[in-house]
Amino acid sequence: MSVAFSAIVPHPPILIPDIGQENIKRLDLTNKSFSRLAQDLAASQAETIVIISPHGTIQPAAFSMNLSPEFSANLEEFGDFGTKRSWKGDIGLAYKIRERLETRAPLQLISDSKLDYGSSVPLCMLTQKLPDIKIIPIYYSGLDYEAHFKFGQLLNRELIYNKEKIAVIASGDLSHRLTKNSPAGYSPRGKKFDKKLMEYLKDSKNQDILKLQPDDVFEAGECGLRSILILLGIMDNIKHEPQLFSYESPFGVGYMVMEFKL
């Protein structure tokens, strides 16, 4: 088995010190959870991170995989001109995935060295002590939930036969509509969605997650479900124990950190 680490993380830019400043204290639980994950990631000796983000190139009928040989993160769109990080792409593994899946899944290749913030924030938080780790960014699509789960299952078949150890990280926030001060406004279905999704994840009820009603999901205003479904497909036949590290919502957005202990 080559999957050595797996987790679901949020991506609030406010976690980056130059952006969050004093407000970081309001995300203390999430910050501490990232520290735990960073330790576990380093201990896993993973050589490549497959990171699934909702904020890159999203195509209506195809998944996207970024094959750039080099990646860089900057968060200037959030007023941070000091945070600069870079990673190497795992071109070899990315091409193997492309070759195996090109006739079995709607997968499009892109090459963009600038990472989206859904990838950049988790990578900046988790890889500070892993300067040599490689990455493969993957972006979900506009296809239905089942298609995302099945895409993850196809990825699983390629990752488990890989000689190198792989980490898989699903980046995504939960509801953006938890309070009247939420960035997307308030909906009573936001809290219900977050509670239900976390319960299903803790109990490994993948089929129940796949049956979530699209109208309820849309009303919750989330951005992480499809990332999570791809990860669940990857982990479908890998023995693991879901462990919820933290959940908090001080800014009206649900931030959940969960590791799948292997």
pLDDT mean over 55-72: 95
Residue closest to 184 by CA, chosen among 115, 129, 87, 249: 249
Task: Indicate the pTM of the whole model.
Answer: 0.96
Confidence of residue 91 (pLDDT cuts 50, 70, 90): very high
Contact between 222 and 172 under an 8 Å Cβ cutoff? The reply is yes
pLDDT at 70 > cutoff 80: yes
What confidence score (pLDDT) does residue 143 get? 97
Q: DSSP letters along the chain, please?
A: --EEEEEEE---GGGSHHHHGGGGGGGHHHHHHHHHHHHHHHHHT-SEEEEEESSS--BTTBEEEE--SEEEEEEGGGTEEEEEEEEEE-HHHHHHHHHHHTTTS-EEEE--SBPPHHHHHHHHHH-TT-TT-EEEEEE--SS-HHHHHHHHHHHHHHHTT-SS-EEEEEE----S-SSTTSTT---HHHHHHHHHHHHHHHTT-HHHHHT--HHHHHHHT-S-HHHHHHHHHHTTTS--EEEEEEEE-TTSS-EEEEEEE-
Higher pLDDT, 247 or 18: 247
For the domain spanning 3-261, the CATH number is 3.40.830.10
Q: First vs last Cα of the chain: how many Å apart?
A: 10
Confidence of residue 62 (pLDDT cuts 50, 70, 90): very high
Confidence of residue 1 (pLDDT cuts 50, 70, 90): low
Confidence of residue 66 (pLDDT cuts 50, 70, 90): very high
Confidence of residue 157 (pLDDT cuts 50, 70, 90): confident
Confidence of residue 80 (pLDDT cuts 50, 70, 90): confident
- Rounded (5°) CA angle 202-122-61: 75
Q: DSSP letters along 93-104, please?
A: HHHHHHHHHTTT
What confidence score (pLDDT) does residue 211 get? 97
Confidence of residue 162 (pLDDT cuts 50, 70, 90): confident
Residue closest to 137 by CA, chosen among 108, 174, 175, 99: 108
The DSSP bridge partners found for residue 65 are 109, 138
pLDDT at 222 > cutoff 60: yes
What confidence score (pLDDT) does residue 82 get? 86
pLDDT mean over 127-144: 96
Average pLDDT of the chain to the nearest whole number: 95
The C-alpha atoms of residue 98 and residue 54 are separated, in whole angstroms, by 20
Tens of pLDDT, residue by residue over 114-128, are 999 999 999 999 999
